[in-house]
Chains A and B, each alone.
Chain A
Amino acid sequence: MLTVSGLLHRFDTADANARAAVHIPELSVPAGRFVVITGPSGSGKTTLLYLLSGLLRPSQGSIAWSGQDIVPMHEGQRDDWRRRHAGFVFQNFNLIEEMTAYQNVTVAAYFSAFSDRQVRGKARQLLAQLGVPDEKRQISSYSRGEQQRIALARALVFDPPILFADEPTASLDITNSKGLAEQFQVLSRAGKSVIVVSHDPVVIGAADSVIRLDHGRLVALSSEAVA
């Protein structure tokens, strides 16, 4: 369950009158939902995603995941929280090109408490499940759709309860976009909270809830999210 209260974020912290990049007084999203944050460019979608994932600390307010407020945490605690609770998928995949698909999926084992051996089975299972062939190939030899699926496997390898994705279908064709949207549905049905920034109608159409922002403010909600 995500609970946002009095959330306000300004990039210019020195100026109290500066326009808020994000301002959401109240928001609740039940756990296990596939939520899309959408809106025009500059509306604060990505900023909200960074705030919800703890990558950015808000100027005011609270963001609680299953009752745990991540705003008062210092940076190290938020790193630790993200490592334990969140997976990330990016628009440009951000895979490490010099590594194989398998190494990319298990990269977080280098800085987590899990050893490579512990995640090995899960990584291979995910790659197979997502239809990524020959895990030992270098990243550049995979298609863009395959690369995005590798990035999804990387985000899921520690089985986090929350998945964040920033414009994950922006560089994919319609077939791959649909495939990825279906994966998000599958994951949410499996109990994971999936928070996706997107303006792709395919993704928006597949979501359980849609949060529409404009100028950092919530202008529309659909389905079960509560403002």
Chain B
Amino acid sequence: MNPFPIVLSLRHRQRVTLIFFVALITFAVALGVAITTQERAVRQGSARAADKFDLVVGAPGSPFDLVLASVYARPTSMGLVPAEDLARLMAEPEADMVAPIGFGDSIEGFPLMGTTAQFVSHLSGDLAEGQIFAHEDELVIGANVPLKVGDIVHAAHDALDSEEHLHEGSLTIVGRMARTQSAWDNAVVAPIEQVWESHGLLNGHAPTEEAHEEAAEDASDDHDAEAHNDHAAPVGPPFDPAYLAGVPAVVVKSANVPAAYGLRTAYRTSSTQAVFPAEILVQLYAVLGDARAIMSFLALATQVLVVAAILSGVMVILQLFRTRFAVLRALGASRGYVFLVAWSYVAMLIAAGALAGLVLGVLASYGVSRFLELRSGIAIPVSLAWQDVQFVLALILVGAAMAVIPAVGVFRQPVVDGLN
């Protein structure tokens, strides 16, 4: 018995209605698939973006704010890690890398993150273009920042970019980081010394003799205090503990896992908090997970309702085919055969809608990911998991089971009624 030639012939009837039915199922399934794949993608993307941030130390306050500001380059108003604690951290034998992170300013709307060249290398490896900053008036830019190496720019206070809020002094872009697939791809990175000095703080290094002389001349010219800075001096470690300033965050790479836990414990003090970004993300995922469960349930319920509504429509359509089924019966087709035709017809509608929904859902998820990537710089990798396929298969199975209802109607239909 081969029901498909008859099923395919039925497909040409009521074409607009059938396309509408399939489209309804497609959109309902796509919604569910997009929710689950996007939630997973955001989770993977955010986790990957935090990979290189083993331990983050900040002033006491919200650990979420600390992680958002340092890992996801979303600066917010935060307290500072005291200079003494920063100095103590830098002297920790268990820390392979201690990178102060300063922020609060912006360039052309992109967050200006101050740190060390070592941390830039840790994030990006080799630069994609140009060279790493060697002086405090030099910058490197993230992979997505639409500026060029060689551009001269001005830093603005906070996230504002109007002329009256610009810092004095110009900065030169000397390099572009390779893509890190983190939020730092949308950031401009300066030496931490630049951030410190632009806010009137010590810059981590003892002044050189030339700077002293320049400061003396500047003082006689009645210039402001910032003028004593030595813009030509090299930047980065080693820092002089006596000249360190506070920073809102410090990223620490520990020698090993036990050391990381040791450092986390050691810096949970009255003046500092230490967090693993991963543990903050786990809390965040728990919330996301609950939201996903609710949304997935709602999406599944929507799909089942859509399939049920469509089945009632299909039952009406099958009534229009009653003569055809009756003729097949008159020609000798068994009741089982017409049942199979009707069931295959409905099941194929549902399967076509569900599979198209799977494809559309993944495509929609890619679209959302692309949008989020452009907005945040964080790579949001969409992947289709077996779980998503199972979800669609489950709907097809439910639909196939429900398709028995109209098929039974056809099975029970008296032949003569159809012929009359």
Contacts and interface: CB of A to CB of B under 8 A. Distances in A.
A76 B335 contact: yes
Contact of B5 (A82, A86, A103): A103
Interface string A43-83: 00010001001011000000000000000000110011011
Main secondary structure of the interface of B (DSSP, over half): helix
Interface stretch (A24-32, A108-116, A206-214): A108-116
A84 B331 CA distance: 10
Interface stretch (A94-102, A123-131, A172-180): A94-102
Interface string B327-356: 111111111010000000000000000000
Interface residues of A, number: 29
A5 B3 CA distance: 38
B91 interface: no
Contacts of A94: 323-324, 327
B419 interface: yes
Interface string B383-420: 00000000000000000000000000000000110011
A99 B5 contact: yes
A98 B332 contact: no
Interface in B1-54: 1-3, 5-6, 8-10, 12-13
Interface residues of B, number: 26
Nearest to A108: B331
Contact of A88 (B323, B331, B334): B331
Given A79-B335, A90-B327, A98-B9, A110 B419 contact: no
A67 to B, nearest CB: 21
B331 A96 contact: no
A107 interface: yes
A129 B239 CA distance: 103
Nearest to B420: A46
A154 interface: yes
B202 to A, nearest CB: 84
Nearest to A112: B332
A149 to B, nearest CB: 17
Contact of A79 (B5, B323, B324, B332): B332
A110 B3 contact: yes
Nearest to A75: B335
Interface string B73-103: 0000000000000000000000000000000
Nearest to B338: A111
10 contacts: A50-B419, A55-B419, A76-B334, A79-B332, A83-B331, A90-B327, A94-B323, A96-B9, A98-B10, A110-B337
